[in-house]
Amino acid sequence: MGVSLASQRMYGMLFVHGIAFMVPFYMTFSRERLAIIVGCYAAAMLSITVGYHRMHSHHSFKPSLIVRLLVALFGASAFQGSIKWWVVRHRLHHRFPDSDNDPYNARRGLWYSHMGWIFQTAHYSKLKEIDDSDLTADKIVVFQNKYFNLLAIFMCFIFPAMIGAVFFNDALGGLMYGGFVKAVCLWHATFAVNSLSHWNGDQPYTLDSTARDNWWLSFLTNGEGNHNFHHAFPRDYRCGSYWAQYDPTKWTIYLLSLVNLATDLYRIDDESIEKDAIVVGEIVLKKRRQSVSWGIPDADLPKFTMHQVREQCSRKAMSLLVIDGYVIDVGGFYEDHPGGRDLLAELVGQDATTAFYDRAHNEGAHVTMRTLAVGKLID
């Protein structure tokens, strides 16, 4: 019996990780090698975020032929699968997030969503529902998919070695730093979107998945950190609504549009973004309101006459006063009252509504007053 594809991936990635880990111990680092790894990393990472992700997966813009070719070539150098393989699974992730049909299902744990899913032979029952007609009709995508293994080996390892040899007379440095070390760094940066962006952060735009916004993760993932925004508005060529948010992918697409290498950049309107933020904010606020005590509900408050209020106070059974028709028990609030105990004590047994509003009471005071209510006045 042959080795499964999942096992091949695991052994291959372990091999690359092992080599990359040993490189710094056996090969000195230099400015030339830094230039190689930075250049190779940037080209591969942009091909994933600009090309595989926003261009092919979500049709955020229309690319020129040269952009499509460069994405196919340098996307292969990322060694993350062909465009077709990558995009179909990413669309599955958006269609069925956090489910058994989500390749990097975050509900199965941080390790699984980061790398564990790669080492399993998965069968997604909903995969046939994912439309890939645009991919099968794209000759560049079809060619890259057919010859991906050869392209990936050449672009990920041989090409950096050639760069090192031609420019710095350092083929081995190009191979090791621009190939192996770059590949490992790139893998974990990309995988972090699937794992960390579903694990920690804010959810300002949608609660339908575990996707979260992480401003700090954007620096690691080439601008993909605002993942909650992306799940709410997947077609937007940006990953975040604010112009200053760190997003090299967005800036690259915009620059491409200035030289007519990208057209029809899709951008969700600001009002739609605001609406989603308001709806989510209301849901979150409702849950927060339900998590704290606001006092006895109006319908359950017993009825008091003013005579009963004064009677309770005269017998010193309770320290009651009236504000806005609510009977308030201030017996346990004397020491916490900002104006002091005496100011509150002199109002016990009276209707203190006028005194309450004549003094500077903020929103918190109104909430405290309502929470201390033990009855409603009926006369």
Tell me whether residue 267 is in a domain: no
174 shares a domain with 30: yes
Q: What is the mean pLDDT of each run of 10 residues along the chain (379 residues)?
A: 72 92 93 96 97 98 98 97 96 95 93 90 86 96 97 97 97 97 96 94 95 92 95 96 93 98 97 97 94 92 94 87 94 87 88 90 91 91
Number of domains in the chain: 2
Tell me whether residue 292 is in a domain: no
Q: Which domain holds residue 327?
A: 298-377
pLDDT at 3: 63
Spatial neighbors of 180 by CB under 8 A, at least 6 apart, are 16, 19, 20, 23, 157
Closest CA to 51 of 36, 39, 64, 35: 64
pLDDT at 123: 81
180 shares a domain with 42: yes
* Residue pointed to by tokens 């005071």: 365
Q: What are phi and psi of 262, to 5 degrees?
A: -145, 135
144 shares a domain with 34: yes
Of 201, 231, 260, which one is at a domain's C-terminal end?
A: 201
188 shares a domain with 315: no
Spatial neighbors of 95 by CB under 8 A, at least 6 apart, are 101, 126, 129, 130
Q: What is this structure's pTM?
A: 0.86
Tell me whether residue 249 is in a domain: no
Tell me whether residue 239 is in a domain: no
pLDDT at 118: 87
CATH code of the domain containing 359: 3.10.120.10
The encoded tokens of residue 31 equal 């400015």
pLDDT at 341: 87
Tell me whether residue 277 is in a domain: no
CA distances, 190 to each of 50, 53, 105 (Å):
12, 11, 15
Residue 323, strand partner residues: 326
Residue 377, strand partner residues: 304
Of 178, 201, 224, which one is at a domain's C-terminal end?
A: 201
Tell me whether residue 259 is in a domain: no
Residue 304, strand partner residues: 377
Spatial neighbors of 70 by CB under 8 A, at least 6 apart, are 47, 51
Tell me whether residue 229 is in a domain: no
Spatial neighbors of 336 by CB under 8 A, at least 6 apart, are none
Of 164, 181, 201, which one is at a domain's C-terminal end?
A: 201
pLDDT at 339: 82
178 shares a domain with 44: yes
307 shares a domain with 176: no
Tell me whether residue 184 is in a domain: yes
